[in-house]
Amino acid sequence: MRREWIISLSISLLLLAGGGWAVFYVTDYISSQLKADTVLNQAPEKTEDNGEKVPKKTKDIIYESQKLVVQIELEDGSIGSGFLYNNQGDIITNAHVVANHEKVSVMTADSKKMEGEVIGVSRDTDVAVVRVSGLKDKEPLPVREEETAELLDEVLALGSPLGLQNTVTRGEISGLNRNLSIEPFEYEDVYQISAPISPGNSGGPLLDGKTGEVIGINSAKIGKESIGFSIPIADVLPMVRKWSETPMKSLPEFPELKEQELQSPVAGTKAEQATYLVQYFYNSINQGDFVTAYSLLSSEWQEQTSFEEFRSGYYNTLAVSVDNIVADPNEDGVEVTVFLTAEETKDGEVVVKKYKVTYPVQYENKSLKIMNGQGKELTSQVDE
pLDDT single digits (tens) 80-124 = 899 999 999 999 999 999 999 999 999 888 778 899 999 999 999
Contacts of 216 (CB under 8 A, 6+ apart): 149, 155, 190, 191, 193, 205, 206, 230, 231, 232, 233
pTM (2 d.p.): 0.63
What pLDDT score was predicted for residue 63?
81
Confirm whether 126 is a catalytic residue: yes
- Catalytic entry in 194, 202, 230, 295: 202
Catalytic position from the list 65, 78, 81, 96: 96
208 strand-pairing partners: 155
pLDDT band at 40 (very low <50, low <70, confident <90, very high): very low
How many residues belong to the chain?
A: 384
Q: Choosing from 78, 90, 126, 194, which is the catalytic residue?
A: 126
DSSP per-residue letters across 14-41: EETTT--S--TTIIIIIHHHTTSPP-TT
Contact between residue 161 and residue 40 where contact means Cβ atoms under 8 Å apart: no
pLDDT in tens, 210-256: 999 999 999 887 665 567 899 999 999 999 999 999 999 999 999 88
CB atoms under 10 Å from CB of 69, counted, come to 25
> Tell me: the pLDDT tens digits for 44-55?
343 343 444 445
Is the CB of residue 130 less than 8 Å from the CB of residue 189? no
Nearest to 82 by CA among 6, 16, 29, 11: 16
